[in-house]
């Protein structure tokens, strides 16, 4: 059984990873009505927190997500099974196919759980990167401000030198225009 085939049939309903009865029936190669009949005969193995019937709103929302046709259809809302109760199905549908499929389903649930674990760690990494970027931006702004302050100080010093040179040039002109005293030739 290919992993992607099973993984594409794992959905999230009521914040739980679940599989629908008709998908399981198809994987187990039995009709949905036989799967439901076997579940109903062994209902004590399927408490409501491990298997439940979807509400109309949940089913409509799921149908929109997976793109099922509104033509034809089901008379009853589907059962959904959480990972914890899928193991029971292979026990009540006692066939080699059910056992093989169940092993594949368990592996896929683990793969999906690992995927979501990785996905939840990504926002933390992004937050840390944003914090580091912010710290680097602050450091860069401080450096630019320091360079700008240094440039302002340097500009003021250069302006002071130009002013001093201008004053010296004016003084020299004043000295040249004075009449000379002493022995002139």
User: What per-residue confidence (pLDDT) applies to 3?
Assistant: 56
Give the residue carrying structure tokens 């066939």: 95
Q: Classify domain 3-125 at the CATH topology level.
A: Mlu1-box Binding Protein; DNA-binding Domain (3.10.260)
User: What per-residue confidence (pLDDT) applies to 71?
Assistant: 47
User: What per-residue confidence (pLDDT) applies to 73?
Assistant: 59
pLDDT tens, N- to C-terminus, the chain (185 residues): 555 777 788 888 888 888 888 888 888 888 888 888 888 888 888 788 778 888 888 888 877 766 554 545 566 788 888 877 766 776 677 677 777 777 777 777 777 777 777 766 677 778 888 898 888 888 888 888 877 777 777 888 888 988 998 888 888 777 777 777 777 66
Measured CA distances, 142 to 25, 151, 152, 155 (Å): 65, 14, 15, 19
Strand-pairing partners, residue 20, are: 80
Phi, psi at residue 28, to the nearest 5°? Answer: -80, -5
> Who's near 159: CB < 8 A, 6+ residues apart?
none
pTM: 0.51
User: What per-residue confidence (pLDDT) applies to 6?
Assistant: 73
């Amino acid at each position: 059984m290919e992993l992607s085939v099973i993984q594409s049939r794992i959905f999230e309903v009521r914040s739980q990873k679940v599989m629908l009865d008709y998908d399981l029936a198809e994987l187990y190669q039995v009709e949905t009505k036989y799967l439901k009949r076997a579940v109903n005969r062994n209902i004590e193995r399927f408490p409501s927190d491990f298997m439940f019937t979807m509400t109309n709103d949940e089913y409509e929302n799921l149908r929109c997500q997976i793109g099922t046709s509104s033509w034809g259809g089901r008379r009853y809302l589907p059962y959904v099974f959480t990972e914890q109760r899928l193991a029971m199905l292979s026990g009540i549908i006692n066939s080699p196919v059910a056992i093989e499929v169940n092993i594949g389903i368990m592996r896929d649930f683990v793969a999906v759980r690992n995927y979501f674990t990785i996905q939840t760690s990504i926002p933390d990494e992004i937050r840390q990167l944003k914090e580091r970027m912010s710290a680097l931006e602050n450091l860069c702004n401080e450096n630019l401000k320091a360079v700008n302050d240094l440039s302002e100080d340097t500009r003021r010093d250069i302006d002071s030198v130009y002013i001093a040179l201008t004053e010296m040039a004016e003084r020299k002109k004043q000295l040249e225009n004075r009449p000379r005293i002493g022995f002139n030739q």
